[in-house]
Structure 1
C-alpha cells in the first residue's frame, strides 16, 4: 500500500490562483469583520473558479501552513482582518506586508506573530504574493458579543466591493505574475 502524497491530502484551496482568507472571531464584536466580509462576498459577488473566499475565523495559521507545505500554491493570498491601529473606525486600508512586524512567538497576538511570520514566509520562501486588507475597529469587547459597531458594519460592503474589484477579476491574476 502506498502512502498519499502531501498534495493528495492538502485542501483544494492550495490549488486556487487567488485565496482570500477572511479572519476574525465573530464572538468579539468588530473582530468579526473578516468573516462578515467573506459572507458578503460569497453572497453577492461572482467568485471565479480560479479563486476562493474563505471564512478563516481564527484558523488562519492552519490554512497558511497548508499553503506553505503544498507544492501547489496560490499566486495570491489576500488576508482580510480587523485591526486597531488608531485610525478612523470603519476605515478600510491595505497594510504592506513589510509594515507588519515580526514578533517573537512569546508575544503572540492573532494580528501579529506567528501569523505575520507565516505571511512573510509564504511571500519570501514560497513566492506567493500576499496582500493584507484591514479595517480599523471601533472597539473589541472584553466579553463575548456578536454586535459589530455601525462604523465597521458600514465598512463590510466597501471591503467586499474592493476585494471583488481588485482581486477577483482577471487583471488581478495577471498582476501576480510579475512578482
Structure 2
C-alpha cells in the first residue's frame, strides 16, 4: 500500500493570525520528518483553484486548516472523505476555503479525486489581526494535529524518519513561524485592524454627514 501517492497540504493565510494554522502544521511537519518519494508536503497558502492539479494527482489527501465549527477555540476536529467538502463550506472564514471547495469539486468532476481524504481542522481564536501570529490555544494544537496525521498515514504504510538536518522551507524564510514572530511589531507600533489612512478618511466623511 505504500506506493500510493500522498499529498499533505496546509492551507490558510499566515498574515491573519489563526488563519495560518494549516500552513504552520505542514511547515512543522516538514522540519521534523523525512518522507518517501510518494509523499509530498505543500504549503497551499491561499492558492485556491491553482491547487487542483496537485489534488487530482494523488490517492490520499491530508489537509490542515483553521475551520470555524462553532466550537470552543482551539478545538480539533477530524473530518473524513465525503464529509470534507461539507465542512469546508459550513461557515466560510475567508476566500481560501471557497477556493478549496472548488478544487475538490473540480477534481471530482474530472474523475481524478483522492480515494482517501482527511481534514484536520482547528477552531480559531482570532482572525482579525493582520500581521498577527497564532494564538496560544491554536498553536498548542500543532503537535496533536501532526500526531493525528501520522497515525492516519500508518494505514498506508507511511512511517517517516525523524529529520535531524536543516531542510529547505516550504515558503520564504521570513514567513517561517519563529522568524515571523520574532520580527512582529508591538501593538503600539502596528495597527492590524485595517488601513489607518482609510479609516481616518471614513471617520471624517461620517463626521461631515
* TM-score, length-scaled by structure 1: 0.71
SS at match of 1:157: helix
Whole-angstrom CA distance in 1 between matches of 2:145 and 2:34: 15
Q: Which residue of 1 aligns with 2:74?
A: 90
Q: How does 1:7-18 map to 2 (within 5 A)?
A: 17-18=5-6
Whole-angstrom CA distance in 1 between matches of 2:135 and 2:27: 17
Q: Which residue of 100, 105, 109 maps to 1:115?
A: 100
Q: Which residue of 124, 130, 154 maps to 2:140?
A: 154
SS at match of 2:27: helix
Query: Root-mean-square deviation (CA), in Å?
Result: 2.6
SS at match of 1:26: coil
Whole-angstrom CA distance in 2 between matches of 1:132 and 1:120: 15
CA shift digits 1:115-163 (9 cap, x unpaired): 213213424621323322211111212x412321110000011111211
Structure 1 position 109, deviation (Å): 3.0
CA shift digits 1:69-125 (9 cap, x unpaired): xxxx2111122110112112222212244363497xxxx83223x421321342462
Q: Which residue of 2 aligns with 1:21?
A: 9
Structure 1 residues without counterparts, runs of 5 or longer? 1-14, 175-179
Q: Which residue of 1 aligns with 2:122?
A: 135
Q: Do the aligned partners of 1:25 and 1:58 also contact (CA within 8 Å) in 2?
A: yes
Structure 2 residues without counterparts, runs of 5 or longer? 159-209
Q: Do the aligned partners of 2:5 and 2:58 also contact (CA within 8 Å) in 1?
A: yes
**Alpha carbons of structure 1 residues 58 and 16: separation in structure 2 relative to 1, 3 Å:** farther
Q: Which residue of 24, 36, 56 maps to 1:36?
A: 24
Q: How does 1:47-62 map to 2 (within 5 A)?
A: 47-62=35-50
Q: Which residue of 2 aligns with 1:3?
A: none
Whole-angstrom CA distance in 1 between matches of 2:72 and 2:55: 33
Whole-angstrom CA distance in 1 between matches of 2:95 and 2:123: 16
**Alpha carbons of structure 1 residues 95 and 109: separation in structure 2 relative to 1, 3 Å:** farther
Structure 1 position 16, deviation (Å): 7.2
Q: Which residue of 152, 167, 174 maps to 1:166?
A: 152
CA shift digits 1:19-42 (9 cap, x unpaired): 011001110000110111011111
Whole-angstrom CA distance in 2 between matches of 1:54 and 1:93: 21
SS at match of 1:85: coil
SS at match of 2:71: coil
* TM-score, length-scaled by structure 2: 0.61
